Chains A and B, each alone.
Chain A
C-alpha cells in the first residue's frame, strides 16, 4: 500500500498563475478530503468527496478554488488565479469509514 500520494511536493509560482495540486487516494477508500494548513488558521477542511461526489465545499475560500474527482483514484485542487495569501501546505486524506484517515505528504505551495 503506497498510501495517499500527492504531487507536487513543492510548488513555487507567481501571483496570477494557475496552480493544480493532485491526489491519489488509497485504493478502496471511498472518501477524499482536501485540507489547508497555515500557521494562523491551523488545519482547515476545504472540500470533501464521498464516492467521487462533492459533499461539502463550504470551506473553499473563494471562487478561485475548485476541486474535482473524476474517478475513484484521482482528485485535483485548482487555484486560478493564485495569490500570495494562498501560500500554505495542502493535504489530501482518504478514508474508508471508521478504519481511519490516511494523510498524504502534502504540497507546500508558495505564491510569490
Chain B
C-alpha cells in the first residue's frame, strides 16, 4: 500500500521568506499527487495536483510543486509567504486514474509571523 511522509511537522517563517515543504511517497507504480491546504477551522482545499506531463506544477495562491520521480518526492514551494498562508498543508497520493482514495501525509503546520 502507498504511504506519504511529510517530514516537517511545524514550520515557522517570517513574512516574505521562501517556503519549501517536503513530501515523499512510497509506491512503485504510477501515482497522482496532490497538495491540500486547511485553514484553521476549515475544510481541505486543493492547492495543486499532478497527474502527468510537466513535473513542475503551478497552483493557486502562488504555490508550485515539483515532481521528482527518482526521489519519490513532490515538494511544495512558494517564493514569498504571507501571513495569510498560515495553515496546515497536506500532501496526498492516489494510484490509478480511477476513483481510488487519497492517502494523506500527517500534514505540516505553517506559521507565518510578521
Query: How many B residues are at the interface, by size bracket?
Result: 20 to 34
Of A12-20, A41-49, A66-74, A76-84, the one contacting chain B is A41-49
- Grouping DSSP codes into helix (H, G, I), strand (E, B) and loop, the A interface class, with mixed when no group exceeds half, is strand
Q: Is the CB of B46 within 8 A of A101?
A: yes
- Distance, CA A50 to CA B96, complexed state (A): 14
Chain B residues positioned under 8 Å from A43 (CB to CB): 90, 104, 107
Chain A interface residue count, Cβ-Cβ cutoff 8 angstroms: 22
Q: Is the CB of B43 within 8 A of A104?
A: yes
Chain A residues positioned under 8 Å from B43 (CB to CB): 91, 103-106
- Distance, CA A56 to CA B94, complexed state (A): 15
Chain B residues positioned under 8 Å from A103 (CB to CB): 36, 43-45
Name the one of A33, A98, A101 contacting B97, with C-beta atoms under 8 angstroms. Answer: A98
- Distance, CA A96 to CA B73, complexed state (A): 25
A100-B106 contact in complex given A30-B99, A43-B90, C-beta closer than 8 Å: no
- List A80-112 residues whose CB lies under 8 Å from chain B: 91, 93, 95-98, 100-106
- Of all chain A residues, which has the CB nearest B44? A103
Distance in angstroms from B50 CB to nearest chain A CB is: 11
- Distance, CA A56 to CA B102, complexed state (A): 13
- Tell me, yes or no, whether A75 is within 8 Å of chain B by CB: no
Q: Is the CB of B98 within 8 A of A97?
A: yes
Q: Which residues of B contact A (CB under 8 A)?
A: 32, 34, 36, 42-46, 49, 51, 90, 97-99, 101-107
| Interchain Cβ contacts under 8 Å between A and B, 25 examples | A33-B101, A33-B102, A42-B104, A42-B105, A43-B90, A43-B107, A45-B101, A45-B102, A48-B99, A48-B101, A50-B99, A56-B101, A91-B44, A93-B102, A95-B99, A97-B97, A97-B98, A98-B32, A98-B97, A100-B34, A100-B49, A101-B46, A101-B102, A102-B46, A103-B44
Q: Which residues of A contact B (CB under 8 A)?
A: 30-31, 33, 42-43, 45, 48, 50, 56, 91, 93, 95-98, 100-106
